[in-house]
Amino acid sequence: MDNLNLIDTFASFKENKNIDRATMMNVLEEVFRSTFEKQYGTSENFDFIINIDKGDFEIWRNREVVEDNAVEDPNMQVAISEVHKIDEDYEVGEEFADEVKLADFGRRNILSIRQNLSSKILQLDRDNIYEIYKDKIGDIITGEVYQVWKKEMLILDDEDNEMILPRTEQIPSDFFRKGDTLRAVVEKVEMKNNTPLIILSRTSPTFLERLFELEVPEIYDGLITIKKIVRIAGERAKVAVESYDDRIDPVGACVGMKGARIHGIVRELRNENIDVINYSDNLKLYIQRALNPAKITKVKIIEEEDRVEVFLDPDEVSKAIGKGGLNIKLAGKLVGYEIDVFRNIDEGEIEEDVDIMEFVDEIDDWVLEAFKNIGCDTAKSVLNISRAELIKRTDLEDETVDRVLEILKNEFEENKA
């Protein structure tokens, strides 16, 4: 009956699918040997028979049979008279094995064994989870939302392993309740206080890459390669793809018939706008594709500054910049260069217009940069955009925009006078 105290621990060991049988038995034997060494000084003469499936075990001690007055170490030797009480066939010099009952150790030692077992089982489980998920970094997993907090969510996988999805790794428009199922990519795995910390992400470019692999067989099979992905989660993403087979249109394959393939990805990413473009070793062509849908008339590459200057017609500037400057920002990250946008201006206009940086004495540098970032590099390019649109695109205070407009208007009024 004493063994029953350990059956629950055995059961939890048996049900743990991440630990193989050999490891289980080694740990159990290690715990028992450690206890016996403290009790008897050695465990070398003990045999342990462990039945994990039944949650039971037997312990046998092997001792040398000696004369009654020759017992020096009761743990290693046994008097022949004691042996003959059990079996009279034994003779001096033979080895005698008798079963050791756990009850002989007392309740305190039994409790210690149980706690030691539980501790080792738990740590083994944690170590195995760490190793398993360390190999899954960059893979998509599906989990169930177990708890929602302000800064993070607790996610459980199919085996009830705990994972964390921080708020910073969630798409801004994500909204999940307890019990919901979600998909995310394993971003990183680390041990914290001997416990595996599994961090998930839905904002990582890797998550988008894995979604493409799931939706586009040609990518999964290696016929199409994703060269680079840049994204601002929930807003916009750009994906550069390349095909090694001239018969395959990489962009068409990724989008699918009537957008069937990419629509599933867009829904998963909360209607994130995804631009799929053909990768090119020709940098100028690559930049033109990256700034799609804007039509560029000229590209000037300044290698030493990792910067490019693109020139467009005035009505194409807003397309190149994109809403909130997202298009040009992502295009720059995709090609690896800072992109400056300039409007094509007729020779007659050049004399009449004024470079916006000429107003540095009246307007702060950072304010002028805000206008340049939305493609307004001249005074007229600013005045040609409505006040409301300027406020929205530059994200400047109303008063700041009004002051800039007043200064620029005065410049042209003075010239007319």
Task: Name the CA radius of gyration of the chain, rounded.
Answer: 37
Angle, to 10 degrees, between the axis of helix 106-134 and the axis of helix 21-40? 150
**What local confidence, expressed as pLDDT, does residue 347 receive?**
46
**What is the CB neighbour count within 10 angstroms for residue 259?**
10
| pLDDT score of 233 more than 90 | yes
Residues 272-289 pLDDT 10s: 999 999 999 999 999 999
**What local confidence, expressed as pLDDT, does residue 6 receive?**
55
**What local confidence, expressed as pLDDT, does residue 412 receive?**
72
Percent of the chain clearing pLDDT 70 (strictly above): 89
Residues sharing a CB contact under 8 Å with residue 250, sequence separation 6 or more, in sequence order: 218, 224, 241, 242, 243, 276, 278
Average of per-residue pLDDT across 191-215: 94
Query: 267 or 12, which is more confident?
Result: 267
Structure tokens at 392: 């929205």
**What local confidence, expressed as pLDDT, does residue 350 receive?**
43
Strand locations in 84-156, DSSP E? Answer: 95-99, 140-148, 152-156
d(CA 65, CA 84): 10
Where b means 16+ CB within 10 Å and e means fewer, 37-53 reads: eeebeebebbebebeee
- Residue spans of alpha helices (H) in 216-313: 217-220, 250-255, 260-268, 283-290
Tokens 């090609």 belong to residue: 335
Range of lowest pLDDT (95-99, 101-105, 396-400): 101-105
Whether residue 293 has a cis bond before it, omega within 30° of 0 = yes
Structural domains in the chain, CATH included, are 4-132 (3.30.1480), 136-203 (2.40.50.140), 347-416 (1.10.150)
Do 46 and 61 touch, CB atoms closer than 8 A? yes
Mean of the per-residue pLDDT values of the chain: 85
Query: 291 or 58, which is more confident?
Result: 291
Residues 149-184 pLDDT 10s: 999 999 999 988 999 999 999 999 999 999 999 999
Phi, psi at 89, each rounded to 5°: -80, -15
- Place 351 in a pLDDT band, splitting at 50, 70 and 90: very low
**What is the CB neighbour count within 10 angstroms for residue 231?**
22
pTM of the predicted structure, to 2 decimals:
0.69
**What local confidence, expressed as pLDDT, does residue 151 receive?**
93
| pLDDT score of 329 more than 70 | yes
Average of per-residue pLDDT across 64-73: 88
**What local confidence, expressed as pLDDT, does residue 321 receive?**
85
**What local confidence, expressed as pLDDT, does residue 39 receive?**
76
Do 323 and 291 touch, CB atoms closer than 8 A? no
Average of per-residue pLDDT across 142-152: 95
Identify the three-state secondary structure at position 234: coil
Strand locations in 31-104, DSSP E? Answer: 46-51, 56-66, 77-79, 95-99
Do 139 and 123 touch, CB atoms closer than 8 A? no
Of 159, 121, 127, the C-alpha closest to 24 is: 121
